[in-house]
């Protein structure tokens, strides 16, 4: 019996020693400090927007954590910007910019929405995006499996809508159906 007690005491002592060593070693490393950029993401993106387009950046309208997108507003339009997963670094602009004046002037030709597509920003990333008026209550992207895009309000009678896809190519031309508040089609399969 005394041999079993000695063995048990030895095992417990070793366990305690290893536990103390592990505890001290893990404390010495300290917590991992997050990387904090010198400039805020909004300020950094606005500086790049102003530099790239030669006009003042009004600010970031929307951060989308699922797609790594931010939407920056200038005097003349809105540009989608791709960031890294942590939203700490600018990666690239997504072209073309959504132009306020162009959208206003082309109302007769385009209807309640307009759209653009980008397949070239990076591998496994494609986006369809554009402006919509208040009349466009529901947008369905028929050519991409009847997907309903995300959207956000910009100002009176103006919304931005977008859909992000984890693939390299979008089927072009994009076919959409747009519905009003009563569910009537106001633009279909164009």
Distance between CA 152 and CA 162 in Å, rounded?
9
pLDDT at 114: 92
pLDDT in tens, 108-161: 777 899 999 998 888 889 999 999 999 999 999 999 999 999 999 999 899 999
Average pLDDT, the chain: 86
Count Cβ neighbours within 10 Å for each residue of 97-128 and write b for 16 or more, e otherwise. bbbbeebeeeeeebbbbbbbbbeeeeeebbbb
Structural domain boundaries in the chain: 1-32, 41-188
Residue 32 pLDDT grade (very low, low, confident, very high; cuts 50, 70, 90): low
pTM for this entry: 0.76
pLDDT at 86: 84
pLDDT in tens, 16-31: 787 777 777 666 555 5
- Count CB atoms within 10 A of the CB of residue 73: 22
- 190 has a pLDDT exceeding 50: no
């Amino acid at each position: 019996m005394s041999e079993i007690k000695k063995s048990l005491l030895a095992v417990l002592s070793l366990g305690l020693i290893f536990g103390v060593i592990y505890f001290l070693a893990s404390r010495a490393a300290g917590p991992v400090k997050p990387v904090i950029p010198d400039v805020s993401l909004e300020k950094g993106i606005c500086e790049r927007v102003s530099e790239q387009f030669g006009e003042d950046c009004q600010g970031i309208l929307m951060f989308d954590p699922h797609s790594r997108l931010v939407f920056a507003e200038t005097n003349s339009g809105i540009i989608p910007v791709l960031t890294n997963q942590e939203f700490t670094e600018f990666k690239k602009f997504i072209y073309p910019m959504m132009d306020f004046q162009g959208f206003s002037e082309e109302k007769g030709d385009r209807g309640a929405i307009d759209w653009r597509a980008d397949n070239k920003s990076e591998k496994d990333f494609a986006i369809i995006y554009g402006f919509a008026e208040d009349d466009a209550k529901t947008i369905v992207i028929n050519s991409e499996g009847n997907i309903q895009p995300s959207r956000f309000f910009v100002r009176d009678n103006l919304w931005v809508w977008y859909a992000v896809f984890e693939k390299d190519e979008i089927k072009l031309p994009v076919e959409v159906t747009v519905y009003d508040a009563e569910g009537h089609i106001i633009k279909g399969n164009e």
